[in-house]
Structure 1
Amino acid sequence: MEETIVGTDAVQIPKQRGESLLDTAVRYAEERHWDVFPGTWLESVEGVQRCSCGDAVCPSPGAHPARPDWAAQATGSATVARRMWQKQPDASILLPTGRTFDAVSVPETAGFLALARMERMELTLGPVTVTPDRRMEFFVLPGASAKVPELLRKLGWSSSSLDLVVLGEGAYVAAPPTRVGCRGAVQWACRPTAVNRWLPDVEELVSPLAYACGRDR
């Protein structure tokens, strides 16, 4: 079952319910060919949801790597993914960036503004997530981190002047329906579909994203 949460008049966020983390992780590997790896999970300690890492003030409870060699652990095999989540069914679903995709992270308000502009421009989008930390992450082709500084310069912006972060090699994103402590779950603003299987190049999206981030300052 899906519940739709309205973020703006123009954009709706489908929220997944009823699907296990195991099934979802396997589907990401099988259908999207994304590498996946299990992260930490939430545990109830005296009625309070705490991160399995044991840090009482964990900044990303239940939504960060559980081991230092997570990059080597990540797999694109549905069989291996199923085996990993069978060992820990409550583990968060994390996706390494810099492999099959990079992600451009912007503040949620800027992200919704950019989405509206992209729709008017009839741009082809990839999947987009919304995090409980009020960030939106736009999936683009790998290699974005090397391109964005120069692209922003050509648009009249410096990388340091905008809250626009590219997650590439060595980074990761949390995928729906991963929960981040008591803050809520990561959700899709634009779900993965057959239409957006082929990701856009960051060059196609950087102008509306930069404009929106500039407005959001």
Structure 2
Amino acid sequence: MNGTAAVRRAVEWLASVAPDPVACRREWEQRADGVVLLPAGKSWDVLILPGGLGHATLAVLLRCLDRPGPVLAGFDEGRVGFLVPPGTAGRWLGTGVRAVGRGAWVVVPRPGRARGGRMRWLVPPDGTGLLTDPVLLEIAMHEAVAGLTEC
């Protein structure tokens, strides 16, 4: 993500889902690991894939799209989370994919922060609300599993 304005938009967009957005931004700044817990299901859900599949799926998406929605990596790259439209978690049926939606909380690193801690952005949010289309994500997952690299 380039530019302080883009980082500011991304921080504002993410913090907007917090019960107290001002406290959320303050906590991001004060915590050494630069992460906060944010509720899923309001502006986005998260589909969490095993690391290998997640990275391969992201590679397919990056070949096919100008920009996918935000993507998180965590736990030593063992998990990759794609931010998708709210409500996706309630309809997702994919095996081996954890669907996180309304009623759940997600550990979210501050956009624009240097890598550190257990979570990082592979594709940071841009503040526009862009999310990954779950249909395209599923197709990319199938292509990743099959070892296909073309769109």
TM (normalized to structure 2)?
A: 0.70
Unpaired runs of 5+ residues, structure 2, are: 2-6, 111-115
Which position in structure 2 is the counterpart of 1:119? 62
Cα distance in 2 for partners of 1:142, 1:172 equals 13
Q: SS in structure 2 opposite 1:110?
A: helix
Name which one, 1 or 2, has greater alpha-carbon Rg.
1
Instruction: Kindly indicate whether residue 122 of structure 2 is the aligned counterpart of residue 189 of structure 1.
Output: yes
Cα distance in 2 for partners of 1:117, 1:111 equals 10
Q: Greater RCO between the two (CA within 8 Å, min separation 6)? A: 2
Instruction: Kindly indicate whether residue 113 of structure 2 is the aligned counterpart of residue 170 of structure 1.
Output: no
Moved more, 164-173 or 197-206: 197-206
Deviations 1:48-91 (A, max 9, x none): xxxxxxxxxxxxxxxxxxxxxxxxxx33x33x4356x39x9338
Q: 2:31 corresponds to which letter in structure 1?
A: D
Which position in structure 1 is the counterpart of 2:86? 142
Q: SS in structure 1 opposite 2:30?
A: coil
Cα distance in 2 for partners of 1:169, 1:184 equals 25
Checking the alignment, whether the CA contact within 8 Å between 1:105 and 1:165 is kept in structure 2 is: yes
Checking the alignment, whether the CA contact within 8 Å between 2:41 and 2:86 is kept in structure 1 is: yes
CA distance change for structure 1 residues 185 and 104 in 2, over 3 Å: closer, same or farther? same
Cα distance in 1 for partners of 2:72, 2:144 equals 17
Q: SS in structure 2 opposite 1:200?
A: coil
Checking the alignment, whether the CA contact within 8 Å between 1:107 and 1:213 is kept in structure 2 is: no
Q: 2:47 corresponds to which letter in structure 1?
A: V
Moved more, 206-215 or 108-117: 206-215
Which position in structure 2 is the counterpart of 1:200? 132
Among 51, 55, 69, which residue is 1:108 paired with?
51
Which position in structure 1 is the counterpart of 2:31? 90
- Count of aligned pairs between the two proteins: 134
Which position in structure 2 is the counterpart of 1:35? 17
Checking the alignment, whether the CA contact within 8 Å between 2:40 and 2:104 is kept in structure 1 is: yes
Checking the alignment, whether the CA contact within 8 Å between 2:70 and 2:130 is kept in structure 1 is: no
TM (normalized to structure 1)?
A: 0.51
Cα distance in 1 for partners of 2:79, 2:70 equals 14
1:95 deviates by 1.5
CA distance change for structure 1 residues 201 and 191 in 2, over 3 Å: closer, same or farther? same
RMSD between aligned residues: 3.3
Cα distance in 2 for partners of 1:89, 1:184 equals 14
Identity over the aligned pairs, expressed in percent?
A: 27
